[in-house]
Amino acid sequence: MSHFMRAAVVLLLAGLIVVSGGAASHAADAAKIALVIGNAKYPDNEFVLNDAANDAQDVAKELTRDGFVVEQQINLAGDVMRQTLDRFYARIAPGSVALIFFDGFAIQSNRQTYLLPVDAQIWTEPDVSRDGFSLDAILAEMNTRGAAIKIALIDASRRNPFERRFRRYSAGLAPTITPSNSLVLYSAALGAVVASGQSDHSLFVTELLREMRAPNVSAEQALTNTKNGVIGATNREQVPWLSSSLTTEFSFASIITRPPDNKGGDQTSSKPETQKPACEVPQPDATPSADDLAKDPVIADLTRKLAANAADTVSRYKRGQIYAIKRAYALAMQDFDAVIRLDPKDGEALNNRCWTRAATGDLQGALADCNLALQVDPGLSDALDSRGLVNLKLGRTADAIKDYTDAIQRNPRSSSSLFGRGVATRKSGGDGATDIALAKSMDPNIAKEFAGYGVTECTP
């Protein structure tokens, strides 16, 4: 790495600060706090991302007009980015709205999305977490500081030079674990990338700004409209990813609280989730048709790679993952089978085949795969989570609780393990409500996911 010069000294002077309504250090001066980062000048990239710098400026101006106290920074090196985030956290007052916008390069590693400073030196997998900033950690810190509403707008689903150094494919961005009352929007689908062009403005931010300016529209609807606008403008070639766990309505101009159903209650503290039936069973999403799967841009790209090289296990494993996530389990099994034939000790592939078999009801086959995955890699928390699902479906609740607990010790932020343990605890006669509530606050769709496996939190 010595032949790549770090740009930190020059970039320490590159930040611009835009503050609306008083000094940014006084969090109590405003209820809405925003940090806008546009990283355009990565020395390892062949050209400057002009759209990142321009879009960051435009977003900062729009948020300022909407009453946010905005700090805008351009071209941040790692040390400055860390200091900027710390300053952002310090400005968050309990009950406030906290928003981060990032435009630049990001990369997925160990199922987390890392935002990259301009001086990142990424050559191996461990470099990603060393030089990058975990979006999961940023949202968690926003929540810890007391932000009532957390928003992350990430325009970083770009094919970047770092991934090509140590991977044979571009992994795109990973789903983030969202605290309750959060909104997260990516410019492209999970695992997908948008080709970087030398343009002055991105389509994603152009659509975002248009929707943010719309009067009397909730923030969630504005982001949904942004997603639909990008899909329509690109003929479905670019599909932004949106995750919402909002229970309070919010618009970029004001906060709107849902009125309670009863006429005499507190007008500011209704909790819709507590008014739902205690054991409402969500309906899982339908399995996409063969045509829809074939048209998926990520699947299509991986299929082209496999047509050129049938022994490309990375592309086959990745395609199997996507098939499984979309509940196309038969196709997923074919890909995982092929990977395992080439490498019978691929722990990740064995775990994914275990999970797929568990979802389809082949519980003994699933159990054998999970056990083998854990023999290959005893510390594989995902395999413990998958085996917990198998034991849960087999009615072995004590074994399920142990597997889920072991998985949580390795990954305390696993919504799947928390929900599974809560359900297993409830089915064994215990409460389980704390685990289930925490899992739902982290992933509002977790109950629907488990319903797709044939598991619900309901007890007879």
CA distance 458 to 309: 46
Range with lowest mean pLDDT among 16-25, 135-144, 189-198, 210-219? 16-25
Does 43 score more than 70 pLDDT?
A: yes
Per-residue confidence at 123, pLDDT binned at 50, 70, 90? Answer: confident
Contact between residue 383 and residue 372 where contact means Cβ atoms under 8 Å apart: no
Per-residue confidence at 10, pLDDT binned at 50, 70, 90? Answer: very low
Lookup: tokens for 365: 């086959």
Contact between residue 384 and residue 406 where contact means Cβ atoms under 8 Å apart: yes
Name the residue type at position 295: K
Of residues 208 and 18, more confidently modeled: 208
Of residues 120 and 194, more confidently modeled: 120
Per-residue confidence at 23, pLDDT binned at 50, 70, 90? Answer: very low
Domain boundaries, the chain: 8-274, 290-452
Per-residue confidence at 300, pLDDT binned at 50, 70, 90? Answer: confident
Per-residue model confidence (pLDDT) at position 268: 34
Per-residue confidence at 59, pLDDT binned at 50, 70, 90? Answer: very high
- How is domain 8-274 classified at the architecture level of CATH? 3-Layer(aba) Sandwich (3.40)
Name the residue type at position 275: Q
Per-residue confidence at 296, pLDDT binned at 50, 70, 90? Answer: confident
Per-residue model confidence (pLDDT) at position 459: 67
CA distance 385 to 370: 9
Does 270 score more than 70 pLDDT?
A: no
DSSP string, 107-156: EEETTEEEE--TT---SSHHHHHHHSEEHHHHHHHHHHTT-SEEEEEEE-
Instruction: List, in order, residues 6 or more apart from 284 with CB less than 8 Å away.
Output: 327, 448, 449, 451, 452
Per-residue model confidence (pLDDT) at position 445: 75
Does 187 score more than 80 pLDDT?
A: yes
In the chain the first and final C-alpha atoms are separated, in Å, by 61
Compute the CA torsion angle 69, 75, 78, 80 (nearest 10 deg): -50
Homologous superfamily in CATH for domain 290-452:
Tetratricopeptide repeat domain (1.25.40.10)
Does 39 score more than 80 pLDDT?
A: yes
Mean pLDDT on 247-257 = 67
Distance of CA 152 to the CA centre of its chain: 10
DSSP summary character for residue 72: E
Does 289 score more than 90 pLDDT?
A: no
Contact between residue 15 and residue 73 where contact means Cβ atoms under 8 Å apart: yes
Mean pLDDT on 449-453 = 85
Does 16 score more than 60 pLDDT?
A: no
Does 18 score more than 80 pLDDT?
A: no
- How high is the mean pLDDT of the chain? 82
CA distance 256 to 265: 16
Per-residue model confidence (pLDDT) at position 136: 94
CA distance 380 to 91: 38
Q: List phi, psi (to 5°) of 228.
A: -65, -35
Per-residue model confidence (pLDDT) at position 197: 61
Mean pLDDT on 218-231 = 90
Does 278 score more than 60 pLDDT?
A: no
Of 350, 418, 360, 410, nearest to 390 by C-alpha is 360
pLDDT tens, residue by residue, 69-96:
999 999 999 999 999 999 999 999 999 9
Helix (H), strand (E) counts: the chain: 20, 9
Does 28 score more than 50 pLDDT?
A: no
CA distance 451 to 354: 17
CA angle 149, 67, 55 (to 5 degrees): 85
CA distance 458 to 460: 7
Please report the sign of the dihedral spanned by the C-alpha atoms of residue 34, residue 38, residue 39, residue 41: negative
Per-residue model confidence (pLDDT) at position 169: 61
The fraction of the chain above a pLDDT of 90, given in percent, is 41
Does 367 score more than 70 pLDDT?
A: yes
Coil/strand/helix, residue 248: coil
Distance of CA 79 to the CA centre of its chain: 24
In what side-by-side order are the strands of the sheet with 97-103?
69-74, 32-38, 97-103, 149-155, 182-186, 241-244
Per-residue model confidence (pLDDT) at position 208: 92
Per-residue confidence at 285, pLDDT binned at 50, 70, 90? Answer: low
Per-residue model confidence (pLDDT) at position 210: 84
Per-residue confidence at 281, pLDDT binned at 50, 70, 90? Answer: low
Per-residue model confidence (pLDDT) at position 460: 61
Mean pLDDT on 368-388 = 91
CA distance 280 to 457: 9
Instruction: List, in order, residues 6 or more apart from 23 with CB less than 8 Å away.
Output: 29
Lookup: tokens for 175: 């789903």
